[in-house]
Every structure is written in structure tokens, then in C-alpha cells.
Amino acid sequence: MLISETLHVLFSVIIITLLATVLSVASVFAFQRQIRKPTFFLLFMNVAFASGVIFLANIVFARNDRLLNVAIFFIAYLYVYGSLGKHTSRYDDTFRMLFLSMGYTRQEFFKNYLLLQGKWKLVDCVFTFSAIATAIKLMSVHFKYFYPGEWLQIMLLFMVICMVVGISRWFGDNSVNKLSKEE
């Protein structure tokens, strides 16, 4: 019973995340044509912060599964967009001049190099987000069943921990020397 419930939730979250991924890739294409770098607001979503927002969505939409799925879609969109935006800006800063000096246009560089290199990043984003969202949804359901009086406090505790870790990682990533790239 638990395995079938887990697989059902996992596959539904994977489908939601894949739809959000398609939208975020289209958004990156659109923003890349208009502006050079993704906006600051859309790059804040890392794994820990996304987990905290999923906890918050599970608390707020505990009784309405459809609204929870819509919230997970938007969280997945922001998470994948942020990951892909960081990926493209890293490679854009590092390799753009090299490829432009070889005669490629900016659009050819973006399509032929950045997206080919980014396919594994997208797969990583989809499966990481899906696994985390599935675990949090199942944890929420089972905490509500086993600890009905303490469910909200437990979920709020996990949410606050994830948000604090996410914000500290965000500040840590922004204070890194911009000349040293991790990829």
C-alpha cells in the first residue's frame, strides 16, 4: 500500500515538474532574447528554499490537493528556472567570448552549446525536485495521521529549518568570488 501510494505521488509530481520544466525552458529562451541575464528575483530558489516553500504549501493547502498541485507547479517552475538560469549565466560568462570569437552568433551559442550542456541539468532538476516534493507530501500525510495534534508544529519546524538553510546558501552562493566557477 505504501509503495503504490509513493509511486502514485512520485509519478504525479514528475508530470507536474516536467510541465513546469517545459515552461521554464521556454521562459529562459524568452528572457535570454530580451535581456542578457536572468532577473535577480527569479534566481533565488535553491533546493533548501524550494523544500521550505513545499512545506509551506503542504501546510496551507492541506485539505485541497488540486491547489497543492498548482502550488507545486509554480514552485517547480521557479526552482527549474533558477537552476537553468544559473547554469546559463555561468556558461555564458565563461565561454561566450570564446564562441563569439569563433564566428558563432549569440543565439547559436545559446542553442547549440548551453542547452546541449544543460540537458543533464534539467534531468537533475526534475528528479531532485520530484523526489523532494514526493517525500514532503508523504511525510505531511503520515505526520497528520500519526501526530494529528502536533502535525502543524512539526511541519512549521521543518519549513523554518529549510528556509533558513536556503537563505544562508543563497547568501553563500552570492558571496563567492565570481571569477571562480564551480562548473
Q: Where are the domains of the chain?
A: 2-170
Q: Report pLDDT for 183.
A: 46
Average pLDDT, the chain: 81
Quote the cell numbers at residue 80: 527549474
Mean pLDDT of 125-132: 93
Longest CA–CA span in the chain (Å) reads 65
Mean pLDDT of 158-172: 84
Q: Could you tell me the pLDDT band of residue 86, with boundaries at 50, 70 and 90?
A: confident
Q: Report pLDDT for 26.
A: 85
Q: Could you tell me the pLDDT band of residue 91, with boundaries at 50, 70 and 90?
A: low
Mean pLDDT of 86-107: 68
- Res. 55: pLDDT tops 70: yes
3-state secondary structure the chain: CHHHHHHHHHHHHHHHHHHHHHHHHHHHHHHHHHCCCCCHHHHCCCHHHHHHHHHHHHHHCCCCHHHHHHHHHHHHHHHHHHHHHHHHHHHHHHHHHHHHHCCCCHHHHHHHHHHHHHHHHHHHHHHHHHHHHHHHHHHHHHHHHHCCCCHHHHHHHHHHHHHHHHHHHHHHHHCCCCCCCCC
